[in-house]
Amino acid sequence: MNSSLTGHILTSYYAPRGRSRIFELGIHLAQQYLSPFDLIIGVIGEAGSGKSALIKGMFPGLELTNDDDGVNVRPLPLLDQDLEHGFFTPHTYHVDIRFETGFTSMNRLADAILEAVSRGKRVIIEHFDLVYPMLGRNADLLIGVGEQILITRPNLFGPEPKEIYDAVYHSLPYRLMAHTAEDLCEFLMPKEDMERCEHSDVRHGFILAFPDHEPSFDLREMEKKVNDMIAEALPVTYLDESHITIGEHKHFCTGPRTHVRNTGQIKGFHLLYRFLYDQKTKRYLMVGCVGDSSPERLAKLDELNPCIRFD
């Protein structure tokens, strides 16, 4: 195995919210970290965190046995290995442990995983932390998806799946809040600005970037309007793969499953009251944060990025 892989401990990435961005990150992670010798890929994260999209990016063409459209593959291929013979048997299996335990015992699922591995097959396991105690071995590559994506190659000294679970479980609410607040800002801004804005990330928040020229809308007024919508506790629901509804309003969104259930669940939303100018990308950045520490985070960003004047 490549020595750069055996020496890898832990890497962290912001978890993108748009579908295409998380696909692209999945492709990058596969190229950077995946080894042909990895037989158990453990994926950890709650519903709506983007696990399925990341897996599709890492393993293009893999048939997920319980995908986001509710298509359930039956019988589960992992449980029917003895029926598969010849050259065209699958090399890679997928299993969602949380879903499958509604139909199959944990012991049987663990035995099927170990049987596949003994045959040199690869198994992608969602909710790996649930089946780990039954396997007697850790994953070859362990991935956690929350506000950040953590990727690690466990060894004898860890990390254990519970450590990854604890990290991503506690961070996911910030991602859901930030994404919903980001969509509220887009919903309220002029159409011209909404259509040209680009997306990026900051811890416990979001960045909307505007090329060419600075938007003309007032950021203090925007913050007040968003907080008014938060106070209304409007339902936020999945409509299709490109849209959500905010209350009764349809809104374009490329990550429609990654939201809080209603706007009232967003806590501590604030905007930085000026656009930061990124000289490297020539873009004007609108920065928002959520959570109790959002004013301090924004104040720190303001301090680190002194105002640039062009007159």
Question: Are 185 and 193 a contacting pair, CB within 8 Å?
Answer: no
Tell the CATH topology of 173-304.
Threonyl-tRNA Synthetase; Chain A, domain 2 (3.30.980)
pLDDT attached to residue 90: 67
DSSP 246: E
Question: Are 80 and 109 a contacting pair, CB within 8 Å?
Answer: no
pLDDT attached to residue 31: 94
Cα distance between residue 13 and residue 2, in whole Å: 22
pLDDT attached to residue 309: 42
Q: Distance of CA 305 to CAs 220, 249, 284, Å?
A: 19, 36, 12
Stretch (H or E) spanning 19: helix 19-33
Cα distance between residue 307 and residue 303, in whole Å: 9
**Helix residue ranges per DSSP H, 42-197:** 51-58, 97-100, 106-118, 128-135, 161-188, 191-196
Tell me the domain boundaries of the chain: 3-159, 173-304
Identify the architecture of domain 3-159 in CATH: 3-Layer(aba) Sandwich (3.40)
pLDDT attached to residue 19: 82
pLDDT attached to residue 86: 53
Taking the model in full, what pTM does it have?
A: 0.84
Mean pLDDT split into 10-residue runs, the chain, 311 residues: 64 87 93 94 91 92 72 75 60 91 93 94 96 95 95 91 94 94 96 94 94 95 98 96 95 92 97 94 96 93 68 34
